[in-house]
Amino acid sequence: MRDLFSTIAPRYDFFTRIFSYGMDRHWKRLTVANAAIPGEARVLDLACGTGDFAKLIASLHPGAKVVGADLTDRMLRLAELPNAISADASSLPFASASFDAVFIGYGLRNFPNLAGAIVEIHRVLKPGGMLVSLDFFLPEPAWFRFLYLGYLYAQGAFWGLVLHGRARIYTYIPDSLRSFLSAKEFTTWLRNTGFHEVAARTFLLGGISIHWAKKGGPGKPDIQ
């Protein structure tokens, strides 16, 4: 993943905008606007990429202290965030109960150990802190799922050829989705792993979803 994202880093923002037909900006603003962030919050933008969430949070919540973390050094250099660190989601270099909120933009599918990452996110969140994510998910309607994956594959191959001369470079998106969850399944999963007051808003028949989930009391989530 580090090698892949190092390659696509310079064109990542352009690709994200064009691939979503400009809807990405709206989804991200909606994600932040509906998150309960305290005025002096400490926020982690995990798998921050070029720092879209970190910059948006800082602009909408000037009192917040935002830390960006990503596995790819080239992404972090392009992000140019005042507070950023290279870190693996399954082994975060932060003390327990360090953050009021953890944001993840299009990162969940790319974590090799999603369960381990959720354990770490739960650990670094304060009780009552928010996990907030925006990501691709498998659509619920079976008939649409096949079409959606095919569309993502075709678009990924097209833009891979145009931007990098390599058709397979952006097909990691449908590839990562094939063994992933639906938005509804992820909502249930969060409720069973130490989070409550879980809310979701889906788009494209569940192909894109925003999740907001509040950490329960102290303790480690029960993830099998």
pLDDT on residue 219: 45
Contact of 74 with 8, CB cutoff 8 Å: no
The per-residue pLDDT for 223 is 40
Give tens-digit pLDDT for 64-86.
Answer: 999 999 999 999 999 999 999 99
Q: Is the pLDDT of residue 152 over 60?
A: yes
At 224, the pLDDT band (50, 70, 90 cuts) reads very low
Mean pLDDT of 184-195: 93
1 with 71: CB under 8 angstroms?
yes
- 217 falls in which pLDDT band (50, 70, 90)? low
* pLDDT per residue as tens digits for the range 154-187: 999 999 999 999 988 999 899 999 989 999 999 9
**Percentage of the chain surpassing pLDDT 90?**
80
Q: What is the pLDDT of residue 48?
A: 95
Q: Show the domains of the chain with their CATH numbers.
A: 2-136+181-215 (3.40.50.150)
DSSP the chain: -HHHHHHHGGGHHHHHHHHTTTHHHHHHHHHHHTS---TT-EEEEET-TTTHHHHHHHHH-TT-EEEEEES-HHHHHHHT-SSEEE-BTTB--S-TT-EEEEEEES-GGG-TTHHHHHHHHHHHEEEEEEEEEEEE-B-SSHHHHHHHHHHHHHHHHHHHHHHHS-TTTTTHHHHHHTTS-BHHHHHHHHHTTTEEEEEEEEEGGGTEEEEEEEE-SSS-----
Q: What is the pLDDT of residue 221?
A: 44
Residue 36 has pLDDT above 90, yes or no: no
